[in-house]
Amino acid sequence: MEHITTPKVENVKLLDRYTNRKAANGTLYLTATHLIYVDASAEVRKETWILHHHIATVEKLPLTTAGYPLLIHCKNFHVAHFVIGQERDCHEVYTSLLKLSQPVKPEELYAFSYNPKMSKENREIGWKLIDLKVDYQRMGIPNDYWEITDVNKDYEVCNTYPPEIVVPRAANKAVVIGSSRFRSRGRIPVLSYLYKENNAAICRCSQPLSGFSARCLEDEQMLQAIREANPGSPFMYVVDTRPKLNAMANRAAGKGYENEDNYDNIRFKFIGIENIHVMRNSLQKLLEVCETKSPSMSDFLTGLENSGWLRHIKAVMDAGVFLAKAVKDEKASVLVHCSDGWDRTAQVCSVASLLLDPFYRTFKGFMVLIEKEWIAMGHKFSHRCGHLDGDPKEVSPVFTQFVECVWQLMQQFPCTFEFNERFLLEIHDHVYSCQFGNFLGTCHKEREDLKIFEKTHSLWPFLLQKKQELRNPLYRGFTAYKELQPNTLPFSFQFWCGMYNRFDKGMHPKQCVLDHLLSCMSQKMKLEDNASELENKLPFLDGPLPSEACSLPKAGYAASKTPMLNTPQGYEVEPPPVLSNGASAGDVDVTSDVDRKHKENLLHHQGLHDLNDAVDGLDSKAKDGKLQHH
């Protein structure tokens, strides 16, 4: 709170970028964790909350007739344009936000003060929810060819890898240690995913320290062990995800890429995904296009093309498709790396795993995938997301691109993912929010040093509590689709309005067809529960007549089984509800409140017949790949 000099400013305007409506007028509050704007001009109390950690930039604009503008850009692509009446207030809010949005020490991050009133035991259970050993066991590891080893338990091999890694059983400790000395930052080849159908593996590492001619016997033995762990293939691929020119430039610094002459039976391939600096600039250009107030169609499409963003998304997707085809169709193992093996390598291995394994398309599986490929394997979230005040050149939307690749797959295969778009957006928001400990730091060792597991909470239990609203109503189940084969021709990629313009009112409909379907299905479940409850009450409404006392239990049972109550859609007209004395509602002049509610409920059920037809129609369209999003 020491950074907040002015906690409250009144008569602040909030401008709307896309509509010509009158600016909102209200009060701006600064708290220890959030900027809160309360719109006083709205008929219903309306609040805008912006987490300090979400703020990417704060900019003071030139004075206008309305006052002193303050423009805030957020990491989740929210843009807020305030106009403050007094220069002093504007300056104090500006300086406070600069300090609050760029903490210097990790201990200042929100996760260390966030307290959801959860017991210590439940917090610990939350951190144990995702167990990577279980995922390796699901793949059939350990087996004759692969083992889970604690050779890195003291971070002697690599300080950015987790304590336990999966390596070929044939690679002894000397081979592992020797290989680590020949790989950038000690990031040796380790298993990412094993395709059980044919023993082909996806492995990952960093670039070799080969320079122009250096070689390492242990590293060559390590790759041989990976190849021989897949007896069904006489060769393996080594994939460098960088453009060839970039990799060649690294040779001058004593790094580089594998020489095919030095490694037995490898096939080397460059993929050509650009580096973090190109991606950062590309996103900036994309956002400039998104923020253009009234673009023509030509301007928008030209700007989108010039940003190169979708071209980069396609490059990541193409790489994932290549890996998946090599493993499934060619039955060949693949070793993937970029420079240090924590950016492009994580993207490509994750996309390939999603294409090959339906488990990773479930709620739990997707969490496992992020833990395994991103968190455990040392993607530098703290640097790439700018959690702390540091080098801006280290910031890059690497994880954002992966999330978008998943969304692009969901557009092509709308029935194959258990979760919906909102689930992806929730995860993306919390990568930047620092509210939970999962994405803090740069590697497992750093998270241990920060005592993340003792002092913060895990995101995953929080998301699972919201599972009902984050699920995909079109999901066909775990076994409906196995491997995915996406089309990666340019026309297959869409601009993700729901990510980059989701906070802009005038840009797109707020309710897509899947959200509407989910809402209808939720309403349907509530109505069915209500109908069931009323059915149970109905036989005991007024008590049995003396002559029918002995037959009522049977009649009650029959009533609960009758098609009239459970499948009203089978009737052309609504049947009159049966009263507790055996008479129909048409035989008496007065019906009770419960009867009336029951009758209304049956009318609702009649409507549900139409809803069921609509749901079935949407399902079949989605299965045919014809579902259009609006």
Q: Catalytic residues, which ones?
A: 338
**If we measure between CA atoms, which residue out of 216, 155, 215 comes closest to residue 187?**
155
Q: Is the dihedral of CA 263, 267, 270, 271 positive or negative?
A: negative
CA angle in degrees (0–180, nearest 5) for 237-239-241: 165
Kindly compute the dihedral angle of the four CA atoms of residues 452, 456, 461, 465, in this order, to the nearest 10 degrees. Answer: -160
The helix (run of H) or strand (run of E) holding residue 226 is helix 217-228
CB 394 within 8 A of CB 483: no
**Rounded distance, CA 604 to CA 7, Å?**
50
> Which uninterrupted H or E stretch holds 353?
helix 344-356
Is residue 188 a contact partner of residue 157, using CB atoms and an 8 Å limit? yes
CA distance 334 to 202: 5
Query: What is the rounded distance in angstroms from the CA atom of residue 78 to the CA atom of residue 428?
Result: 13
313 residue type, one letter: I
CA dihedral 477→480→483→487, nearest 10 degrees, is -100
Task: Give the H or E element holding residue 309.
Answer: helix 309-328
Which helix (H) or strand (E) is 165 found in, with range? strand 165-168
Q: In sequence order, what are the residues at sequence separation of 6 or more whose Cβ sits closer than 8 angstroms to the Cβ of residue 136? A: 142, 148, 166, 191
**Strand 8-15 vs strand 79-84: parallel, antiparallel, or unpaired?**
antiparallel
Length of the chain: 630
Contact 312, 306 (CB under 8 A): no
Task: Identify whether the C-beta of residue 505 lies closer than 8 Å to the C-beta of residue 21.
Answer: no
- Asked if 422 and 138 touch (Cβ cutoff 8 Å), the reply is no
Instruction: Say how far apart CA 524 and CA 609 lie, in whole Å.
Output: 10
CA proximity to 467, closest of 431, 512, 430, 418: 418
DSSP 8-state assignment for residue 418: S
Identify whether 208 is preceded by a cis peptide bond (ω within 30 of 0). no
Q: How far apart are CA 589 and CA 256, in angstroms?
A: 90
Q: Which helix (H) or strand (E) holds 517?
A: helix 513-537
Residue of 274, 342, 270 whose CA lies nearest to 308: 274
Which residues 6+ apart lie within 8 Å of 74 measured at CB? 50, 54, 55, 56, 80
